[in-house]
Chain A
Amino acid sequence: MQNIPAVSGNKANVNTAEYVKLVIFNEYNATPAGNIVANTQYEIKFAGSTNWTSVGAPSNAIGTIFTANANGTTGTGNASNVTMLTFSSSYTSDTIGNIEYNPLGGLLAVGPQQRSLRVTSADTSIQISGIGGNNIYEILESQGKIRGSKIEITRGFFNNNVVLANAVIRFTGIVTNYSIQEDREGVEDNFTITLDASSYKTILENRIAGRKTNKSSWQFFDTLDSAMNNLNSLAGFSFDFGGDPKSKTVVPGYNGGGVPGGGGGSRSTTPGDTTPSNRK
């Protein structure tokens, strides 16, 4: 039997599937190594002096996800209690990096992802359809914890014998929102869960944009950052940027300078040069 070849070069048909790893954080503060509970999933946040491999972790690296096989361990490290969900659009269970992905087949749809030469802030979404009421319950029962979950989308490639041969990570980011859609048409009833995800760059951009120009906000990220320490003493001052700083700065309560904000007046004392339109 002759398969239709590609447009050029007689390349083999490319068979692919999407693999999604979702890590839901169940707690805000990480659990100290001494308090971890057996048969619970954790992600290492701070390795410290803890030997995480002694309680089931494949390595001691930060970000390693493992299921604890013992209660508590020694050391200064801590880990977050997480729930890791893995699923794919493949026809069968596949293992990538020692993680098994549950096959959902065509019930999983992954949105487009922008790939540029430079680091790009891009959003994407995944849709899981054909699900039952229990899955709706799990999403709602998580009380929004699914927002903020880490998401990693991998594209897997099959060889001609339909065996997974290669896998490439194509998106990493954070789940920013979710929605549940219920479609009823006649006697057909379909549930769909949509997860919106943003790349890490978008998250970082939002965080920088959210900083306030005051001391406490500035030092939230770096306690030694003194760039905003003098803001309080400058409050209420008006500046005539570009003017003579000694003669034109208007200080409230001094020299009859008027109310704050009124100091941005004439730049020149020359007659006939008092209107903004005449400014050079």
Chain B
Amino acid sequence: MAGLQTIINNASSLTIDRRKVVGLQITRNEIPRVTLTPTRQPWKMELEMPQNLTYYNNRDLLEALDTMDRVSPEIVTFSSNACLSWIFRYQGSLTQGQLNAMSVQSFVGNQLVLQTLPGIPSNRVIFEPNDLIQLGNYPYPFTSTTRVTRGVGSTVTVTTNRPNILSVNITNIGITVGNACDFYMFCPNMPTYRLIPGGVVRVNGITVNNAYIAFNDRFTLFEYVGTA
């Protein structure tokens, strides 16, 4: 069983932290001054788990989490659960076929240039702010920071939330958008868990005791960008 994917599928709340690393100072005459440190701006998510998972039915999950520990990343998605797929839903107006036809021309800094655009009116929206964009099969989603319309040119430029962190050649590769994007996450705090006795379960005609799993902390998922 995929450990972190199961946690996502069962989480009762989700906190997203994409804040940048900044230096913030207030001058003596109280004027704010901000500097920004260029980083890979990894996705950080906090997932809160309800105490509804039973021990007997989820021992494979516990083993997966313990094996993963705080060192192994896992590719997760928000599309495999119908109750979660709305979170990163694509907001643009292109069809799946039109999205599949588009490819990357260049990606320098935070300027992503897409080519092979569909023949649609110039005012049609390709991306709304906060739309996820994944390049090829590399599970490091970027977001569009502004509304991008088709325009009249052969390419469109998307300003992304973070600069190009991929170390591979991405020219001419396709894109994936919305909740179909993958995330490459690991859990640096990997909560421990308590077993709270409660309930019984029938196993091969025998009644045995069961317990509820109570995780001692929230799951802090951190994007593993070391191999991007």
Q: Is A58 on the interface with B (CB-CB < 8 A)?
A: no
What chain B residues lie within 8 Å of A54 (beta carbons)?
none
B window 93-143: CB within 8 A of A: 108-111
What chain A residues lie within 8 Å of B35 (beta carbons)?
13-15
A105–B111 alpha-carbon span in the complex (Å)? 21
Q: Is B164 on the interface with A (CB-CB < 8 A)?
A: yes
A162–B27 alpha-carbon span in the complex (Å)? 26
| B109-A106 in contact (CB<8A) | no
Interface size class for chain A? Answer: 20 to 34
The CB with the most chain B CB atoms within 10 A, among A7, A91, A106, A163, is that of A91
| A90-B111 in contact (CB<8A) | no
A91–B163 alpha-carbon span in the complex (Å)? 9
Interface locus among B11-19, B36-44, B57-65:
B36-44
A118–B149 alpha-carbon span in the complex (Å)? 56
Q: Is B33 on the interface with A (CB-CB < 8 A)?
A: yes
Q: Total A-B residue pairs with C-beta atoms closer than 8 Å?
A: 52
Query: Nearest CB to that of B164 among chain A residues?
Result: A92
- The B interface is mostly helix, strand or loop, or mixed, namely loop
What chain A residues lie within 8 Å of B37 (beta carbons)?
15-16, 106
Query: Nearest CB to that of A8 among chain B residues?
Result: B31
A window 80-126: CB within 8 A of B: 90-93, 105-106
A16–B22 alpha-carbon span in the complex (Å)? 12
What chain B residues lie within 8 Å of A92 (beta carbons)?
40, 163-165, 167
* Candidates A3, A105, A159; contact of B40 at CB < 8 Å: A105
Q: Is A234 on the interface with B (CB-CB < 8 A)?
A: no
Query: Nearest CB to that of B31 among chain A residues?
Result: A7
* Candidates B27, B34, B108, B167; contact of A163 at CB < 8 Å: B108
Residues of B within 8 A of A (CB): 21, 27, 31-41, 108-111, 145, 162-165, 167
Residues of A within 8 A of B (CB): 1, 3-4, 6-7, 13-17, 90-93, 105-106, 158-159, 161-163
Query: Can you spell out 20 A-B residue pairs with CB atoms less than 8 angstroms apart?
Result: A4-B32, A4-B34, A7-B27, A15-B37, A15-B38, A17-B38, A91-B38, A91-B39, A91-B41, A92-B40, A93-B167, A106-B37, A106-B39, A158-B38, A161-B109, A161-B111, A162-B109, A162-B110, A162-B162, A162-B163
Beyond the given pairs A15-B36, A92-B40, 15 more chain A to chain B contacts, judged by CB atoms under 8 angstroms and listed by A's residue number, are A1-B145, A7-B27, A7-B31, A13-B35, A15-B38, A16-B37, A17-B38, A92-B167, A106-B37, A106-B39, A158-B38, A161-B108, A161-B163, A162-B109, A163-B109
